[in-house]
Amino acid sequence: MQESQIIRTEYSDIMKKSYIDYAMSVIIARALPDVRDGLKPVQRRTLYDMHELGIRYDKPYRKCARIVGDTMGKYHPHGDSSIYEALVVMSQDFKKGKALVDGHGNFGSIEGDGAAAMRYTEARLARFTQEMFLADLDKDIVDFVPNFDETEKEPSVLPVKVPNLLLNGAEGIAVGMATSIPPHNLGEIIDAVKAYMKNPDITTKQLMKYIKGPDFPTGGIVINKDELLSIYESGTGKIKLRGKVEVEEAKGGKKRLVISEIPYTMIGAGIGKFLNDVAALVETKKTNDIVDISNQSSKEGIRIVLELKKDTDVENLKNMLYKKTRLEDTFGVNMLAVADGRPETLGLKSVIEHHVDFQFELATRKYQTLLSKEREKKEVQEGLIKACDVIDLIIEILRGSRNIKDVKACLTEGKTENIKFKSKVSEKMAKLLKFTERQADAILEMRLYKLIGLEVEALMQEHEKTLANIERYEDILNNYESMSSVIVEEMDACKKAYATKRRTVIENAEEAVFEEKKIEEQNVVFLMDRFGYAKTVDEATYERNKEAAMAENKYILKCKNTGKLCIFTKEGRMHQIKVMDVPFGKFRDKAQPIDNVSNFDSSCEEMILLISEEELAACSLLFVTAQGMIKTVDGQEFLVSKRSIASTKLQDGDFLASVQKIEEGAQIVLQTVNGYFLRFVGEEAARKKKAAIGVRGIRLQKKDEVENVYLLREGEDKKAFYKEKEVSLNRLKLAKRDGQGTKTRI
């Protein structure tokens, strides 16, 4: 029995190696496209499976569930959702420069609607895919590798005839890296490839005479033309996009803005987000020029209409939309692909260079296979022609032999021992026969009608055609110019059949500048009910409805519409809200949850103080925690730009019992859950920074904590209640901070 061996190694080394192996697997075998065919493994396997199933462009559609199941079972042992999602995206012409799959049914929409379940939808290969991606697979044009369980063979790459990496672009997130390549125009790409083949020393700048820039299926406008050269040279950068906005005349001298093309980045939920952003601009009074918003998009294309007021400054409004919404957006370019088996960031010229090398490799393998087949045909044809000249002798050999073995031996080696001949002359002639094995097989399989004169003549013509093919294929394989012309011919045919006009405009545009209308400052009253629904009204409205406002709302605060409100929570956070973000209107208008306009989350936070920014700037705040820690903090410390910050530092398990404004000369009374009251002067609460814990205000008994905090002005008679017993706070003994306090007897 063999003894087991224990290998000692560093755990960190094993983890490092394992993680690198995992990362490379995700990068190479899942997330990144191959520079040669521009496809990720899941896309390649899905297209090949459809090809194998015979779901061609001229055949009936088949259920997507069948395609997904077959692909998963044979080639891609991952989740069915990832395969179906890849299939859906390849069928969406609003995402791809050229759709690779012809979908039938609900395959989603540009507005973000998802595709129907795979059991409902059907698909087949697009004609473009069949001709440009899957042709010649039977000619040993690419390597085939075993599938995951070695029961099938799959192509390591598809023999794509166009630079699909540029045509359809790519998006993918791997481990530690991501790819983002925009789609381009087919005709422009082909012209650039031809230019490179004529002059391999061509520069990226010269290539861009043919490829103007990306060509997004959604159209739109690229507005940073001058930056495209550096993006295409390095393979990384940012493309600035704008939607196409047109101005239409409406009734009564009014105008409307019509968005007929959107930025590529707005596909999906981005359209709904844009509509919400425009509505928010109107609601928050950033603009008063928009009367109505409607999405009139249909199968014919995008049409988002903004109805405008009379005498609207249209240019200023357009610039505002560019600045404040996703009508102007950025497409991040990172042209990362798998090249020679490893991930590499490629420039425009590098992608074309890899493509051309791949085309020459494909052409070489294709014409080597064709040449081999033509040479086999030539051999057979020569044998048949020769056999026609001595057909009487061959018939005599056949009639005089006992088995096919003797016949083949005679035809190939001239052996006549086992064959009876009518004459010695025939035997002598038979000994001179030297047919090849392949020729002998062809002669034995030849039918008698082939001896008809016309058939013999057709055989001679076919032989001449075969010789011409051999000469042509040898010329292609031995002559660079000949192979180049063949590749160019195929690309020209592709361009003629499938090229379309450019949809995206490339230009240099000035940065959008708009004059934001200054909001007229006014005093408003903030109202919030016990459910956290808030709104603002003007002071006059509040005064008219004062009693109802006080009865219905938990918080009422006077502030300026240009200011901010600060929420202090029990958990030690401070959240800021712009008053302008809170709905403003009539007293009975609908309010909005405070959570919607701030980072405050009422489901897991408790509000203990609401104060205006102006009030906060002019006061000090007293912080008291449940564990009895106290401090005062200058309100100026909380005037920050962030929407949410830590308002104080808390010990483990502690929380804020109270945050209040404290005036100079005030006295502090702390009341605990167990009924201890401690009264001391406010100056004893140390002034600290907001990040400090503070000092101890009261010595707590076991399982006790601060419950209430009261502030007394000198001479003020203030009452408190503890378990329904009234306590006069000004009669409590004035003690020192950090005492135990007085126990209230019930």
Specify the pTM: 0.74
Q: Which long-range contacts (CB under 8 A, 24 or more apart) does 632-640 make?
A: 632/662, 632/682, 632/685, 632/686, 632/687, 632/688, 633/687, 633/688, 633/689, 633/690, 634/687, 637/689, 637/690, 638/566, 638/574, 638/690, 639/613, 640/576
Query: Is residue 172 within a helix (H) or strand (E), and if so which, with residue range?
Result: strand 170-173
| Angstrom distance (rounded) from CA 77 to CA 319 | 50
What lies within 8 Å, CB to CB, of 90 at 6+ separation is 43, 46, 47, 96, 99, 100, 101
Q: What is the DSSP string of 209-251?
A: TT--S---TT--EE-BGGGHHHHHHHSEEEEEEE-EEEEEE-G
> What pLDDT score does 13 carry?
82
**Matching residue, tokens 């959008």:** 512
Query: Is residue 291 within a helix (H) or strand (E), and if so which, with residue range?
Result: strand 290-295
| Angstrom distance (rounded) from CA 484 to CA 121 | 42
Cα dist from 51 to 130, 344, 359, 602, whole Å: 8, 30, 21, 56
Q: Which residue, among 672, 667, 657, 652, has the nearest Cα to 734 in the 3D structure?
A: 667
The full set of domains in the chain, from first to last, is 25-160 (3.90.199.10), 244-326 (3.30.1360.40), 354-497 (1.10.268.10), 518-618 (no CATH), 619-746 (2.120.10.90)
Q: Extract the residue ranges of the chain whose pLDDT is less than 70.
A: 1-4, 450-451, 453-454, 514-518, 746
Catalytically active residues, by annotation: 120
Say if residues 293 and 306 touch (Cβ distance below 8 Å): yes
Q: In what order do the strands lie in the sheet with 620-625?
A: 656-662, 620-625, 629-634, 695-696
**Matching residue, tokens 């809170």:** 582
| Angstrom distance (rounded) from CA 568 to CA 570 | 7
Q: What is the pLDDT of residues 175-203, one digit of tens each?
A: 788 899 999 999 999 999 999 999 999 99
| Angstrom distance (rounded) from CA 78 to CA 74 | 11
| Angstrom distance (rounded) from CA 45 to CA 134 | 12
What lies within 8 Å, CB to CB, of 408 at 6+ separation is 437, 440, 441, 444
Quote the DSSP letter at residue 504. Answer: S
Residue 483 token pair: 């192979």
| Angstrom distance (rounded) from CA 357 to CA 346 | 15
Q: Which residue, among 576, 610, 597, 586, has the nearest Cα to 533 in the 3D structure?
A: 597
Residue 138 token pair: 């039977």
| Angstrom distance (rounded) from CA 136 to CA 128 | 14
Output the CA angle 441-443-446, nearest 5 degrees: 110
| Angstrom distance (rounded) from CA 22 to CA 172 | 16
Query: Is residue 710 within a helix (H) or strand (E), and if so which, with residue range?
Result: strand 706-712
